[in-house]
A and B are shown apart, each in its own frame.
Chain A
Amino acid sequence: MTETAPQPAISMAQPDDFFQLLKPRVMSLVIFTAVTGLVVAGGDLDWLSSAIAILCIAVGAGAAGALNMALEAETDALMRRTRGRPVAAGRVNKNDAMTFGVILSVFSVMLLGMTTNWLAGGLLLMTILYYAVFYTLLLKRRTPQNIVIGGAAGAFPPVIGWAAATGQAPWQAWLLFLIIFLWTPPHSWALALYSAGDYARAGIPMMPVARGAKSTRLQILIYSLVFVPVAAAPGLVGLGGYLYLAVSAIGGLGFLFLAFRLWRSRAGDQPDKAEAVGREAALYDVRVEAKPARNLFAFSILYLMALFAALLVESITALPGLS
């Protein structure tokens, strides 16, 4: 077919490129924590509304990811870990990614509000704005505390799930928020310790770049010492039962052990492996001395999943607890 106007190069983007804009790996964690919040909350939401609510939360989180990729295309292109992303790699036009993100944001918030309630819809809107505007545009390049403050965006999904189910966001929901909020710094800094070269090249003041590896390792240990008791709290206040207590205690000890080993290690003192070999290294392919950082990073994901899985299982099967 022919075009009637001077034709710029037409986009070659495939649907899968747009799906990748949604950060599907991040989305899976969002879905899991939101489902947990929704189920633990109880309430009388029917299964179809629940499914739509979870879909909306997932799409809203994905929309925030698309906006983030549109806004950070230049930065992503400088980093080995992110330069394959659709916008950074030039497969998706920046404006297309932005439009995609805005449309999905509007539709997901609207549909969540219509299906459940406007507290949940409002919280989802706030999460999107927090991540795309507050974190991406304002925080990320300004302070080494970027991930501490910005981590709140990733902590909202269980609260949104709770609000969707009950129309309320009580302190129990905010306890789940606090768990993810405190989990984010040790998790993100462990990764940053063995990919600091990427952040330095992109001019992002992540903690290992701004304060050095030694200070980062100490801060990871301090955050872990605060995080682990908070992670056990749902088991002590009746939100979780014996299964949750066991998972949080055993996993928490493992988390502290790995954080302590990382503190004692020299992870991050040398340039990361990708820098050394001058090309992309696999996410878990690191220098020997950086292995404690990699181990904590990997275990942190497992631990968070296990905590929420325990809550979910107990809520579904009504296992006994302390109260």
Chain B
Amino acid sequence: MTMRRLTPEELSARSRRNLAIAGAMVVFIVLVFSVTVLNLKRNIDARKEAIAAGQPVEYAR
């Protein structure tokens, strides 16, 4: 079994890729969180409007 030490260039390239992946993951998490909050808000607003219009509303069972 042979082992070798990575060159500084290889380490640097890998480090940059890792940072890019981390950044992309953070963006994705923020986006999914934002979408979830938006969808919750839409549903709450729709429920309020339904109540204001006198329509029967109930929680999903």
Contact = CB atoms under 8 A, between A and B. Distances in A.
Contact of A15 (B6, B17, B31, B35): B17
A6 to B, nearest CB: 5
Interface residues of A, number: 23
A214 B37 CA distance: 58
Given A3-B6, A5-B1, A111 B13 contact: no
A48 B1 contact: no
Contacts of B14: 10-11
Given A114-B39, A115-B38, 8 more contacts: A4-B3, A6-B1, A10-B13, A13-B13, A14-B16, A49-B35, A49-B38, A115-B35
Contacts of B20: 15, 18
B40 to A, nearest CB: 12
30 contacts: A1-B5, A1-B11, A3-B3, A3-B4, A4-B1, A5-B1, A5-B3, A6-B1, A7-B4, A10-B6, A11-B17, A12-B10, A12-B13, A14-B13, A14-B17, A15-B16, A15-B17, A18-B20, A46-B38, A48-B34, A52-B31, A52-B35, A55-B31, A107-B28, A111-B28, A111-B31, A111-B32, A111-B35, A114-B32, A115-B35
Interface residues of B, number: 22
Interface of A: 1-7, 10-15, 18, 46, 48-49, 52, 55, 107, 111, 114-115
A158 to B, nearest CB: 23
Contacts of B38: 46, 48-49, 115
A1 B6 contact: yes
Interface in B4-28: 4-6, 9-11, 13-14, 16-17, 19-20, 28
